[in-house]
């Protein structure tokens, strides 16, 4: 891992307002670039908006559709790796809650949500792989909201080489302080148990389809300590430095790095 500046964006995304959501994504990506960030991460389904009614499928596009092309162009123009969410439709007629990884050189990769929350099962197909991505000097995984409640996924990503796990959310209802307390029940454990950075961001405000989001972001280091938070309840951006020394501090210490001592012969 190399030292890397990363931006986490909190913004409002209206269901179906692709043009408006794209404009916000572009605005914050250019701000992240100006701040020196090499990676910018947006909330879950920020390009299409998030809801869990069947009509969300009408917004689905293939990866090589207009939204995918727009993310490739934005990454190229800004020089920033863009992590952004959309409803994806594949050639077999499956619909996914997907998060794109758009590279400045033109590549486009995708993570498809593995663990669907119960209300989402009527809208989406669960993904079938847990890929890792390499860009800007880091190896990272992506988990979408409900995914982070399943500890084995984080351990799987860490064992396969992840330095960082991004957790974009579309998590509604609670006020920022309440959502932060909810996150603190599980996200620090994902970082501490696995010796990885965990970075989360959430949508904010009304989605135009009956849901309201708290608008949080936080950065947790590989020791499980919270480094930065966004609790403003409005759109904004955290820029944080991910430091190789923090990872080394944990992984070079026999009592702080737990993964090598797992009893994989038993479980």
- pLDDT of 173: 82
Contact 65, 47 (CB under 8 A): no
3-state secondary structure of 179: helix
Q: Report the distance separating Cα 51 and Cα 60, nearest Å.
A: 13
Task: Write phi, then psi, for 203 (nearest 5 degrees).
Answer: -70, 165
- pLDDT of 174: 85
Among residues 187, 267, 201, 264, the alpha carbon closest in space to that of 232 is found at 201
Among residues 124, 120, 121, 164, the alpha carbon closest in space to that of 142 is found at 164
| pLDDT, tens digit only, all 267 positions of the chain | 999 999 999 999 999 999 999 999 999 999 999 999 999 999 999 999 999 998 999 999 999 999 999 999 999 999 999 999 999 999 999 999 999 999 999 999 999 999 999 999 999 999 999 999 999 999 999 999 999 999 999 999 999 999 999 999 999 988 999 999 999 999 999 999 999 999 999 999 999 999 999 999 999 999 999 999 999 999 999 999 999 999 999 999 999 999 999 999 999
Question: Residue 115, exposed/middle/buried by CB under 10 A (0-12, 13-18, 19+)?
Answer: middle
Q: Report the distance separating Cα 198 and Cα 217, nearest Å.
A: 11
Question: Residue 229, exposed/middle/buried by CB under 10 A (0-12, 13-18, 19+)?
Answer: middle
3-state secondary structure of 177: helix
3-state secondary structure of 41: strand
Task: Write phi, then psi, for 49 (nearest 5 degrees).
Answer: 85, 155
Number of H helices, E strands in the chain: 6, 14
Identify the CATH class of 4-259. Answer: alpha beta
Q: Find residue 131's DSSP bridge partners.
A: none
Q: Report the distance separating Cα 4 and Cα 14, nearest Å.
A: 31
Task: Write phi, then psi, for 43 (nearest 5 degrees).
Answer: -65, 165
């Amino acid at each position: 891992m190399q030292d890397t500046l990363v931006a986490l964006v909190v913004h409002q995304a209206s269901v179906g307002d692709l043009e408006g959501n794209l404009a916000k994504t572009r605005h914050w990506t250019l701000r992240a670039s100006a701040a020196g960030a090499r990676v910018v991460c947006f909330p879950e389904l920020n390009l299409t908006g998030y809801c869990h009614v069947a009509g969300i499928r009408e917004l689905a596009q293939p990866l090589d559709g207009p939204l995918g092309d727009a993310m490739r162009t934005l990454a190229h123009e800004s020089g920033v790796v863009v992590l952004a969410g959309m409803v994806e439709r594949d050639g077999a007629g499956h619909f996914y809650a997907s998060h794109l990884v758009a590279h400045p050189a033109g590549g486009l990769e995708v993570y498809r949500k593995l663990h669907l929350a119960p209300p989402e099962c009527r809208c989406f197909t669960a993904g079938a792989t847990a890929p890792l991505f390499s860009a800007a000097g880091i190896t990272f995984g992506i988990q979408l909201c409900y995914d982070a409640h399943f500890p084995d996924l984080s351990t799987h990503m860490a064992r396969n080489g992840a330095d960082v796990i991004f957790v974009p959310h579309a998590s509604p209802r609670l006020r920022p302080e309440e959502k932060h307390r909810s996150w603190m029940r599980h996200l620090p454990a994902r970082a501490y148990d696995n010796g990885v950075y965990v970075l989360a961001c959430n949508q904010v405000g009304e989605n135009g389809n009956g849901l309201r989001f708290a608008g949080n972001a936080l950065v947790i280091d590989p020791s499980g300590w919270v480094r930065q938070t966004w609790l403003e309840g409005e759109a904004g951006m955290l820029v944080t430095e991910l430091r190789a020394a923090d990872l080394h501090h944990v992984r070079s210490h026999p009592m702080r790095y737990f993964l090598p001592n797992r009893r994989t012969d038993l479980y």
